[in-house]
Amino acid sequence: MLVVSISGSPSPRSRSGVVLQHAAQWLNDRGVEVSGVRIQDFNAEDLLYAKFDSPQVMAFIEAVAKADGLLIGTPVYKASFSGALKTLLDLLPERSLYGKVVLPIATGGSIAHMLAVDYALKPVLSALKCQEVLHGVFAIDSQISYGESPLGGDLDELLTQRLHEGLDHFLLGLQHRTQARHKDAGGHLKLAL
Ligand SMILES: Cc1cc2nc3c(=O)[nH]c(=O)nc-3n(C[C@H](O)[C@H](O)[C@H](O)COP(=O)(O)O)c2cc1C
């Protein structure tokens, strides 16, 4: 099973990035391969000028095409998800998320905009034909502390519990998808015989 983790924060030190890091470790421990992509690693001009033919953008599109599921992390910016993340999602072809499982993860300064994923990010994912967007995991800044390394840090107990619940559902979704794929492949094989 292959997962692409997208960090939508423009900040080099990112709280949503810390949550994503924990999620990736949790999935790795269960045998899921996670490939991480950070918005800040992209060439800003590729994103701002929507360069669909940029090699980096094309590699990203291919990685998404191969993935069974996506973790999408974002800070809340002005009551929505980050604009930088939108510039990247805008470059995905229309049916990119068809058949994939998505677990959104958002962090904000307070609970005031905890529904940002529901009213802002989910419509975008559904425009990309995602049919399985799971209930997102939302955290406020005080639940996440930074560690020594740029991506390291700790989550408080409540957030850890909520994240693990979200990941349990995510893993189940990934397993269903893999089983369905194998079933399809079996059916095609029988027909071919
Ligand atoms: C430009 C900007 C806008 C923000 N707007 C909001 C907001 O509308 N609501 C909110 O709860 N937090 C807001 N925040 C706080 C961030 O969402 C919060 O600190 C988040 O955890 C940052 O995530 P990151 O460290 O992964 O970038 C804003 C922060 C910045 C820098």
Centroid of ligand 1 to alpha carbon of 75 (angstroms): 5
The predicted structure's pLDDT at residue 165: 98
As its CATH architecture, domain 2-192 has 3-Layer(aba) Sandwich (3.40)
**Six token digits for residue 19:** 């949550």
The predicted structure's pLDDT at residue 190: 54
Q: Which residues of the chain have pLDDT under 50?
A: 192-193
What is the sign of the dihedral through the CA atoms of 140, 72, 29 and 162? positive
The predicted structure's pLDDT at residue 187: 65
Determine the Cα–Cα distance for residues 15 and 8; give it in Å rounded to an integer: 11
**32 phi-psi bin (left φ>0, alpha ψ -120 to 50, beta other):** beta
Centroid of ligand 1 to alpha carbon of 54 (angstroms): 29
72 lines ligand 1 (CB under 6 A): no
**Helix 157-192 crosses helix 15-29 at what angle (to 10 degrees)?**
50
38 lines ligand 1 (CB under 6 A): no
73 lines ligand 1 (CB under 6 A): no
